[in-house]
């Protein structure tokens, strides 16, 4: 069995190779280690080899880990799961990034509940890029209005877009989905013209990070290839 440290080494090499192949600047793609269902000890192993950014899907589980890892300096917590509006207060208090905002109500609450003494909460809007019936995310057509409204909220920093393409597509289909997300970000840049940094595309996971990097990913969210297969879903 390979160790978490080895896995991070090989994922990092995959990222570097894909970044180079795409002619992009070294270091322009960051690894978000998706640690849902993993015990704090696994995150400590990742931290020991320099990993700082962790992605969590389930709030209660995440809060327990954040508490258990208080002694580690510089951890950066990213919320990447579906958000119920009664969970926003805790998310606003404990996370640095949220990748899964898909409606204005949630964004407004996050902004209101973010403490003024904290830096603004970094936000990606999640897009349901392949219009799947069961997937979270706004529709592409809703983006201009939603992004315009969110960019004006005081305690948020709208950084960009996130998507999870339909996994039942061939590589070419997934790559098209990634490209559509990148094009949507370009449109928003024109629309908001400096009103938000818009430097972020959160796309690509264990199986398809190379395709996502080829289309401009800046965060790849990787669980299995870092921590191994997940045995069971968290409650
Ligand atoms: C679980 C998860 C990932 C990581 O998936 P892997 O296939 O294990 O790399 C990435 N993004 C989101 C939103 C997830 O829920």
| Residues 97-112 pLDDT 10s | 999 999 999 999 999 9
Q: Do the beta carbons of residue 231 and residue 36 sit within 8 Å?
A: no
Q: Whose CA is nearest to atom 4 of ligand 1?
A: 223
In this structure, the residue with its CA closest to atom 10 of ligand 1 is 221
pLDDT tens-digit readout, 54-91: 999 999 999 999 999 999 989 999 999 999 999 999 99
| Position 1 confidence tier, pLDDT thresholds 50, 70, 90 | low
Distance 116 CA to ligand 1 centre (A): 31
The Å distance, Cα 47 to ligand 1 centre, comes to 19
pLDDT of residue 186: 97
Instruction: Decide if pLDDT at 221 tops 90.
Output: yes
Residue nearest ligand 1's atom 13 by CA:
80
pLDDT reported for residue 214: 98
Mean pLDDT (whole number) for 128-152: 96
Residue 235 has pLDDT above 50, yes or no: no
Pocket test for ligand 1, best of 55, 99, 136 (most atoms within 8 A of CB): 55
Label residues 195-234 b or e (16+ Cβ within 10 Å = b): ebebebbbbbbbebbbbbbbbbbbbbbbbebbbeeeeeee
CB-based burial of residue 131 (10 Å sphere; 0-12 exposed, 13-18 middle, 19+ buried)?
exposed
Q: What is the pLDDT of residues 177-207, one digit of tens each?
A: 999 999 999 999 999 988 889 999 999 999 9
Q: pLDDT, tens digit, for every residue of 206-216?
A: 999 999 999 99
With CA atoms as reference, report the closest residue to 66 among 82, 53, 77, 51. 77
Across the chain, mean pLDDT equals 96
Q: Which two tokens stand for residue 28?
A: 């322009």
| 30 Cα–ligand 1 center, Å | 15
């Amino acid at each position: 069995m390979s160790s978490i440290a080895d896995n991070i080494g090989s994922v990092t090499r995959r990222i570097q190779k894909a970044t180079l192949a795409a002619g992009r600047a070294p270091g322009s793609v960051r690894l978000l280690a998706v640690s849902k269902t993993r015990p704090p000890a696994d995150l400590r192993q990742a931290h020991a080899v320099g990993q700082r950014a962790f992605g969590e899907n389930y709030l209660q589980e995440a809060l327990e880990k954040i508490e258990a890892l208080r002694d580690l300096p510089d951890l950066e917590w990213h919320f990447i799961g579906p958000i119920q509006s009664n969970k926003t207060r805790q998310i606003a208090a404990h996370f640095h990034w949220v990748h899964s905002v898909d409606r204005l109500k949630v964004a407004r609450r996050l902004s209101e509940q973010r403490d003024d003494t904290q830096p603004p909460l970094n936000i990606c809007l999640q897009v349901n890029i392949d219009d799947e019936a069961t997937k979270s995310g706004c529709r592409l057509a809703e983006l201009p209005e939603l992004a315009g409204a969110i960019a004006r909220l005081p305690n948020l920093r709208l950084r960009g877009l996130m998507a999870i393409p339909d996994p039942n597509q061939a590589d070419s289909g997934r790559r098209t989905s990634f490209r559509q997300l990148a094009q949507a970000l370009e449109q928003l840049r024109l629309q908001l013209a400096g009103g938000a940094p818009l430097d972020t595309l959160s796309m690509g996971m264990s199986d398809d990070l190379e395709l996502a990097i080829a289309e401009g990913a800046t965060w790849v969210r990787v669980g299995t290839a870092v921590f191994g297969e997940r045995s069971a879903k968290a409650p």
